[in-house]
Amino acid sequence: MVQTVEKVSNIILNSRKIAVLTGAGISVNAGIPDFRGEHGIYTLGKYDERVFDIDYFLRDPLLFYNFAREFYPLSEKAEPTFTHKFLAKLEESHEVFIVTQNIDLLHERAKSKNIIYLHGSISESYCLNCGMLYSYEEMEKLIFDNPVPRCKKCGGLIKPDVVFYGEPVKDFDKASEVVSKSDLFLALGTSLEVYPANFLVKYAKGYKVLVSKSKTSFDNHFDISVHEDLDKFFMEVSKHLGVMS
């Protein structure tokens, strides 16, 4: 791993603009399970992809809200990982843009400034009928006080501002522009199985580096593919660069 750490460190050192795509794997060490990893939400079979399917949600939102009653407390007590903090630290010396598939707000809490939430986030929710907005705190209370949260104004179904399967992602044009203008594209903790996030690698014109615990079907699209624990790998990169030591 030493040679790979040196290569990636030197690429970072010589880059000016860095675009980062992050998936659920970056938050695993914060205590938030991923979806398709060894101990992932789908892998263990407690939930399947219907939990984030918009058509299923509209028919029977209880499945999602059962999941939400587990996810919200995990997200609330989770702290940004070393890798979250490392990416925020890079902003002191580089232009860094985070494109995340995650909804957990850990990049924001790590103090990263330029964040594109492809799949939305849990920071806000809204009524599907009248559009009334609900803050994180309001929504959290509604989730634990009701099997399915309903709008206090019109009684409509409330949905977190999170992109479900069957809905268009947010700000993809902005994300693809950021990636195309970067010197370095980092894909971190993502299985690259979800479209169109996985398509961003095709926009990258500079160096492309993947760091993920598991192999992906896109490995051969990257100049360097590293299959290690993210925090372990970036602790070594950080030492090599002389930051956060």
Active site residue ranges = 119
pLDDT at 225: 97
Q: Please tell me which residue, 131 or 36, carries the higher pLDDT value.
A: 131
Bridge pairing between strands 224-226 and 17-22: unpaired
CA distance 20 to 73: 27
pLDDT-based confidence at residue 45 (cuts at 50, 70, 90): low
Q: Please tell me which residue, 49 or 173, carries the higher pLDDT value.
A: 173
pLDDT at 1: 78
pLDDT at 38: 59
pLDDT-based confidence at residue 243 (cuts at 50, 70, 90): confident
Q: What is the mean pLDDT of the chain?
A: 93
pLDDT at 103: 93
Is the pLDDT confidence value at 164 over 70?
A: yes
Q: How is residue 164 written in tokens?
A: 């479900």
pLDDT at 182: 97
CATH of the structural domain 1-30+80-119+168-245, one choice from 3.40.50.970, 1.10.3720.10, 3.40.50.1220, 3.40.50.2300: 3.40.50.1220
Terminal CA-to-CA distance of the chain, rounded, Å? 19
Longest dimension (CA), the chain: 60
CA distance 203 to 43: 30
Where do the structural domains in the chain lie, given as residue ranges? 1-30+80-119+168-245, 33-77+123-162
- Helices 136-145/62-77 angle, 10° precision: 130
Domains 1-30+80-119+168-245 and 33-77+123-162 share a fold: no
pLDDT at 41: 64
Neighbours of 39 (CB within 10 A): 9
Q: Which residues contact 17 (CB under 8 A, 6 or more apart)?
A: 94, 95, 97, 181, 182, 183, 184
State mean pLDDT over 10-16. Answer: 96
At the topology level, CATH places domain 33-77+123-162 in SIR2/SIRT2 'Small Domain' (3.30.1600)
State mean pLDDT over 6-22. Answer: 97
pLDDT-based confidence at residue 35 (cuts at 50, 70, 90): low
Query: Could you read off the pLDDT of 203-234 as tens digits, one per residue?
Result: 999 999 999 998 999 999 999 999 999 999 99
pLDDT-based confidence at residue 43 (cuts at 50, 70, 90): low
pLDDT at 61: 97
pLDDT at 165: 93
Positive or negative torsion for Cα 178, 183, 186, 187: positive
Kindly state the DSSP code that residue 168 receives in the 8-state scheme.
P
Positive or negative torsion for Cα 61, 32, 238, 11: negative
Q: Which residues contact 44 (CB under 8 A, 6 or more apart)?
A: none
Only one residue has tokens 């205590």, namely: 31
Are 114 and 171 in contact by the 8 Å Cβ rule? The answer is no
- Cis omega (within 30 of 0) for bond into 196: yes
Query: Could you read off the pLDDT of 77-108 as tens digits, one per residue?
Result: 999 999 999 999 999 999 999 999 999 999 99
Is the pLDDT confidence value at 44 over 60?
A: no
Are 150 and 174 in contact by the 8 Å Cβ rule? The answer is no
pLDDT at 47: 75
CA distance 185 to 208: 5
Nearest to 5 by CA among 220, 242, 233: 233
pLDDT at 48: 83
pLDDT-based confidence at residue 27 (cuts at 50, 70, 90): very high
CA distance 228 to 212: 6
